[in-house]
Amino acid sequence: MPSSRLIFPFAAAFFLVCIAPQPAHALFGSKKKAAEKAGAILFRDKGCAHCHGVAGVGSKKAPALTDIRKNKVWTPAKMSDQILNGGKKMPPFADSLTDEEVAQIVAYLRAKHKPAPPPGQEPPSAPAQ
């Protein structure tokens, strides 16, 4: 079987490529995922969802943020700046969020698949009962 002799080196190389960078990637991936999850909770609990809608789908008060990761204008640095200093109609959050929390929200907004926050607190816009 001549073809198996041909395939073997490729299979071996593929196997090595698969196992070699895995540990570093897995670690990076889970850290990133943790930040995105934390950001999802902050987005819901710090008032972002009040204007930008649940999961940032947008509302009459503020634009949707769902596709912001594809928007070249909104770099992570610009997003952080908007969150810290506010905008025309958006309040600044520099006093209520730490740098780490802002980074987590940016990670959440830039996530390809936005994680849903775990059930917990009601959004701030909900009437207290």
Per CB under 6 A, the list member of 79, 110, 114, 117 interacting with ligand HEC is: 79
Per CB under 6 A, the list member of 88, 112, 119, 120 interacting with ligand HEC is: 88
Would you mind telling me the total number of residues written for the chain in this entry?
A: 129
Q: How far is the CB of 122 from ligand HEC (least distance, A)?
A: 16
Task: Identify the CA nearest to 58 among candidates 99, 93, 115, 109.
Answer: 109
79 touches 85 (CB < 8 A):
no
Per CB under 6 A, the list member of 82, 84, 111, 123 interacting with ligand HEC is: 82
Per CB under 6 A, the list member of 52, 53, 107, 114 interacting with ligand HEC is: 52
Per CB under 6 A, the list member of 35, 40, 41, 48 interacting with ligand HEC is: 48
C-alpha dihedral, 54 to 60 to 63 to 64, nearest 10°: 30
Q: Which residue's structure tokens are 């959050």? A: 93
CA distances from 121 to 42, 58, 72, 91, 106 (A): 11, 20, 33, 22, 21
46 scored as a contact of ligand HEC (CB under 6 A): yes
Binding window for ligand HEC (CB under 6 A); candidates: 4-12, 24-32, 45-53, 117-125: 45-53
Task: Identify the CA nearest to 35 among candidates 99, 112, 104, 97.
Answer: 104
| Interface with ligand HEC (CB under 6 A) | 43, 46-48, 50-52, 61-63, 65, 68, 74, 79, 82-83, 87-91, 93, 105
